Structure formats: C-alpha cells, structure tokens
Amino acid sequence: MWMDQSQLDFQKVTYIDEQGKALKEEMPVEEAELVSMYEWMVRARVFDQRAVKLQRQGRIGTYAPLQGQEAAQIGSAFAMRENDWVYPSYREIGVSMVRGVPMSQFLLYAMGHLKGLAQEQANVFPVQIIIGAQFLHAVGGAWASQYKGEESVSVAYIGDGGTSEGDFHEALNFAGVYKLPIIFFVQNNQWAISVPVSKQTASRTIAQKALAYGITGVRVDGNDAVAVYTVMKEAIAKAQAGEPVLIEAETFRQGPHTTADDPTKYRMADDEKTWTAKDPLVRLKTYLTEQRIWDEEKDRALYEQADAEVSEAFQAASSAPASELKDVFEHVYETKTAQLSEQQAQVEEASRQ
C-alpha cells in the first residue's frame, strides 16, 4: 500500500569502466566515431582550460568551466540528428561546438559581444543563465515541433542544482501530459556551486523523478562517452515516438562552478581525487590505446592542433569590432517593431550629440 524508494532500482548504464576496459563484447560505436568523439572531447578540454586562463588574465569575462563533463556533453551531442534542437544552460560548450557553434562565438559571448549570443548557423538556442528557464523554452519548442509534424527532438540541458527549480518540474509535467518529443538531460556533476546534490534532493537518484511525471527515466555513467552516446540514441527514438525522457548523467565538475567561485572552500580534496581518477578523457584514451586505435604520437598532435584552433578562435574574437548600444535593438525580434525602431533612433541621436 505504501510507496517507498526502496521499491525502485535504477541501474547505471556503463560500457567502459573507470580503468578503460570494455564491459561488453561488442561496442555499439564504430572505431572511427569513437576516435572522433575523443578528438572533440580533447578540443573541449583544451578550449576550457584556455578560457579559464584568459579570464584570469582579464581578457574575457566570467566563465563556467566544463572540465570533467566532456563525455556527457560530447557523447550526447554525437547521438543527435541534424534537425534536433539544443537548449543549453551556460556550461554546454562541448555540446554546442559539436552541433556547429564556432569556438570564437563563445569567446565573443564571454567578452560581452552581442554576436556572442547569435546562433544562426546551428540548431542551438542562446546561452541561458536563468537556472531552469531553458527547460520551459525546450518544452515550447518541442510542442511546436509536434504541432507542425516535424521530425525533430528538443534536448534541454541542466545541472543537478537546476532540478530544484520550479521550471524543471513544470517542464517535465507538461511534457508528460502532452507526450512531447523532448529529452531532459541532467548533468549531475555533484555540486550546484557550493551545495552538494544531497542537499538538492532526498531522492536516491534524479532519474527516478521521471516516474512522477509519467515519462521515462534512465541513469547513465556520465564519464563514459560510449554509454552516454548509446543511451542518447535510444532516448531520441523514444522521444520522437512521443515518449519524453529524463536522463541523469552522473559525472563531476573538476573545476569551479564559474571563475568567480573557489571550490576549495566547500569540497574535500579526497572527493576531488576520487573523481579525477574517473576522468572521461583518460578513460576513453585508455580504451582506444589498448585497442591499438590510438597512441601517444597521435595524442600529442591532437593537443597541438586543438591548441592552435583555440588560438585562432581567440584571435578572431579579439579582432571583432566592439558592440555598440544601437546594435542591441537588432537582436530582439526578427522583424523590428515600431517601438524598437523609435528607441533605436533615439539612441543614435543621443550618440551624435
């Protein structure tokens, strides 16, 4: 009669263990795609580390690092189709890069440039810094896709802390009622700034919250790119068939919440050491090396190439003309309203005085 959490048993999906060993005889990803995933994970790591340095040097503004979450981001992005949509928070740089957003655009955004939020070349919505708001936007997008009969799925990303927001619960409830083509992807990186996941929820897992809203839930090893890719592929098929999915990818934010944060004030060194040993790049590289698909020479060349790409992106962003106040009015509606045109004219007139 009484429902209890002990009745729930969520197994965590894993294909490659923490030592880089395959747990299944057949890998569901081709060798070439595995290598490509690893290459993108390295690009994301190199960009991330450089961005932190650039912020410390005062060359860009506050930045939210993703180090440690590369497998969750790259693995899920690789599973998406060309017409699927991404609704990111402020940390999904790896996802967005794979989906077609250039590195230079993230740097423009971090520099306060208006064009840093313009996502005209990819099915990726602008960075969302209001915690959880992207979930409601994604529900609206998925509902529109369903109404128009489109073959597309909306994928919304959030952190474990965001699951405490009302927007999270409203979005899941709406998606469940209307059977929307949507995937809610939670990167459970253990910490919402200084608050541990144990203070965010009394649930044994985040994935189990799906059951309360009549949707499907799954828990995956977020440091295993193959597992994330496989689960995401299955989730897309379910969502397209009108079965919304909540994915909990268990991972770890190795760095600070943002460059304005100091994790040494609230995290134990032993916890960081434990999770660093599960590093997603090391895991996939070990597997590829043991399969004789990869070697140290290729790895050095990859890091050098990624470093050059980031340098080129920074040069492009630094060379872009600075935004002006009058430009703000160009990025509100596709067709400017009369009121916006009037306000823009007032700004331009004031600038000439």
> Tokens 């709406």 — which residue?
174
Residue 2 counted as domain residue: no
Q: Are residues 225 and 257 in the same domain?
A: yes
Output the six-digit token pair for 235. 């989730």
Output the six-digit token pair for 234. 């299955």
Residue 332 counted as domain residue: yes
Higher pLDDT, 5 or 28: 28
Overall number of domains in the chain: 2
Residue 79 counted as domain residue: yes
Q: What is the DSSP letter of 124?
A: B
Q: pLDDT tens for residues 220-241?
A: 999 999 999 999 999 999 999 9
Q: Are residues 67 and 186 in the same domain?
A: yes
What is the sign, positive or negative, of the torsion defined by CA atoms of 152, 37, 55, 278?
Answer: positive
pLDDT of residue 132: 97
Among the ranges 24-28, 237-241, 273-277, 332-336, which has the highest mean pLDDT value?
Answer: 237-241
Mean pLDDT confidence for 12-19: 96
Q: DSSP string spanning 292-330?
A: TS--HHHHHHHHHHHHHHHHHHHHHHHHSPPP-GGGGGG
> Tokens 């208006």 — which residue?
114
Gap between the Cα atoms of 109 and 179, Å rounded: 35
Q: What is the DSSP letter of 2?
A: -
pLDDT of residue 324: 85
pLDDT of residue 352: 82
Which SS3 state, helix, strand or coil, does residue 182 take?
Answer: strand
Residue 3 counted as domain residue: no
Pairing mode of beta strands 216-221, 245-250: parallel
- pLDDT bin (cut points 50, 70, 90) of residue 314 is very high
pLDDT of residue 62: 96
Gap between the Cα atoms of 183 and 79, Å rounded: 12
Mean pLDDT confidence for 303-326: 94
CA proximity to 244, closest of 184, 156, 165, 170? 184
Q: How many residues can be counted in the chain?
A: 353
Mean pLDDT confidence for 159-173: 97
- pLDDT bin (cut points 50, 70, 90) of residue 331 is confident
Among 112-121, 166-175, 263-272, the range scoring the smallest mean pLDDT is: 112-121
CA separation (Å) from 26 to 15, 78, 281? Answer: 10, 19, 21
Give the structural domain span for 207.
8-322
Q: Are residues 211 and 344 in the same domain?
A: no
CA separation (Å) from 35 to 25, 44, 102, 281? Answer: 19, 14, 20, 11
pLDDT of residue 190: 96
Among the ranges 113-127, 135-149, 263-277, which has the highest mean pLDDT value?
Answer: 135-149
Q: pLDDT tens for residues 258-292?
A: 999 999 999 998 888 899 999 999 999 999 999 99
Q: pLDDT tens for residues 171-203?
A: 999 999 999 999 999 999 999 999 999 999 999
Q: Are residues 292 and 337 in the same domain?
A: no
Q: Are residues 336 and 249 in the same domain?
A: no
Gap between the Cα atoms of 315 and 62, Å rounded: 19
Residue 1 counted as domain residue: no
Gap between the Cα atoms of 278 and 221, Å rounded: 10
CATH code at position 49: 3.40.50.970
Q: Are residues 114 and 257 in the same domain?
A: yes
Mean pLDDT confidence for 34-56: 98
User: Residue 52 belongs to what H/E stretch?
Assistant: helix 31-56
Q: Are residues 225 and 336 in the same domain?
A: no
Radius of gyration of the CA atoms of the chain, in A:
21
pLDDT of residue 163: 97
Q: Are residues 315 and 347 in the same domain?
A: no
Query: Does position 125 have pLDDT exceeding 90, yes or no?
Result: yes
Q: Are residues 344 and 242 in the same domain?
A: no
96: Cβ contacts below 8 Å, ≥ 6 apart:
86, 88, 106, 122, 124
Mean pLDDT confidence for 131-158: 98
C-beta separation of 130 from 60 below 8 A: no
pLDDT of residue 329: 87
Which SS3 state, helix, strand or coil, does residue 116 take?
Answer: helix
Residue 294 counted as domain residue: yes
pLDDT of residue 326: 83
Residue 85 counted as domain residue: yes
Which SS3 state, helix, strand or coil, does residue 270 take?
Answer: helix
Q: Are residues 300 and 352 in the same domain?
A: no
Percentage of the residues of the chain whose pLDDT score is greater than 70: 100
Query: Does position 204 have pLDDT exceeding 80, yes or no?
Result: yes
pLDDT of residue 148: 97
Q: Which residues are catalytic?
A: 253, 257, 266
CA proximity to 329, closest of 107, 114, 137, 122? 114
Residue 63 counted as domain residue: yes
pLDDT of residue 25: 86
Q: How high is the mean pLDDT of the chain? A: 95
Q: Are residues 167 and 157 in the same domain?
A: yes
pLDDT of residue 6: 81
CA separation (Å) from 119 to 109, 126, 203, 310? Answer: 11, 6, 36, 19
Q: Are residues 209 and 342 in the same domain?
A: no
C-beta separation of 221 from 239 below 8 A: no
Query: Does position 144 have pLDDT exceeding 80, yes or no?
Result: yes
